[in-house]
Amino acid sequence: MKEKIIIFKNDSVGDLVHSIAAIKNIIFQNQDKEIVIFLSKINEGFYFLFKSNNSKLKILNYHLTIIEKIKIFVYLFTHKIKNVYILSPKNFYFYFSLFFSKIKFFGLCVNGVKGNKRPYLFLRKFLFKFVINDRETTKKRKPTQLLQLELVNTNKVDNINFKLGLDILMSDKLKKYLPNDYLFIHYKKIFFEELGWGINGLESILIELERYNLNIVLTKDIETDQNNIIFRSKYKTYDFETNKFYNNASNVLFLDNIRGEDLYNVVKYSKKVIAIHGMMTNLAYLCKKPVLDLFHCVIKNKDDYHEYKNAFHEFKPNYPGYDFIIPRKNLKKTIKKMKFFLIKNI
């Protein structure tokens, strides 16, 4: 039976991006073993980012069911496992270290605000190696990508630089409908509504973007709602689920139900990316595209300030094309701030 290495990473796409370097490091250092990567249904479409000849994909829910927990336990018990890397710091995974003493467990641990710790301190002593993402501190801290590299780098190499971005052939669908030169913007409903912008705010932003580039490509979160119908009626639209194209008179192309490699390539071939902090800004980082990160904060007290400051340092990409602003409910002021990014290198 071939020796296996397990990676638990069933969380969001945004979080997954920050683990890519660590996952590639594990694969690089263990080419004689089978790497079994557990991803969530949310991020399984991005397995291609680190897929290799010796890796295997398994799918879990973001929130594990009782049945899934039992199946994971049985899997560890019935297979020859050398190492387990817990890169998605869910408390449940750390309990396995109590029952499987022959397996080396590596864990990304979290010291959360108000003393909330994952895992509990007594479990950490059963881990072979762990690093701590200290969200309690008010000091500047290491980004989570670097912490994970320190966790998995057993060969003690100071700098292993992987090419995180990939060259993936563009699908025939994108070749047919994607403009040659365009700005890319992602609409995240919950934050646009929290800011009081809504659909009208998006329209104002699109009008501003068209001043700097004639072609705009628009996406939204995968949940189907009334906005899918609204966008389809206003903008040129291609629906990846139905394979239907709606040729409306608009400079905006709405790509509905786009996922995985197609979404990656839309980001990669864009001129610039504008999005609320999350999956799209992280994909832009992978492709080293100029990106304007709309880092939405709701700060009511000192604790909120330190929490958002910590989150910013935890996930902030480090490359010349990265810009960020904190969006305000006053959309006119926010658009004014956006202009500094839009006029760069035009």
Please check the confidence at residue 159 and state whether its pLDDT lies above 50.
Answer: no
Please check the confidence at residue 115 and state whether its pLDDT lies above 70.
Answer: yes
Write the DSSP string, 14-48: HHHHTTHHHHHHHHHHTTTSEEEEEEETTTGGGGG
Task: Give yes or no for a contact between 189 and 227, defined as CB atoms under 8 angstroms apart.
Answer: yes
Question: Which residue has tokens 């969200």?
Answer: 135
State residue 157's pLDDT score.
44
pTM, entire model: 0.84
pLDDT in tens, 293-340: 998 766 555 554 455 556 555 566 777 889 988 898 999 999 999 999
| Among the ranges given (63-72, 161-170, 300-309, 320-329), the one the predictor scored with the smallest mean pLDDT | 300-309
Average pLDDT, the chain: 88
CA of 137: how far to CAs of 26, 84, 96, in Å?
29, 28, 28
State residue 311's pLDDT score.
59
Cα(83)–Cα(81) distance, rounded to whole angstroms?
6
State residue 316's pLDDT score.
66
pLDDT in tens, 195-226: 999 999 999 999 999 999 999 999 998 877 89
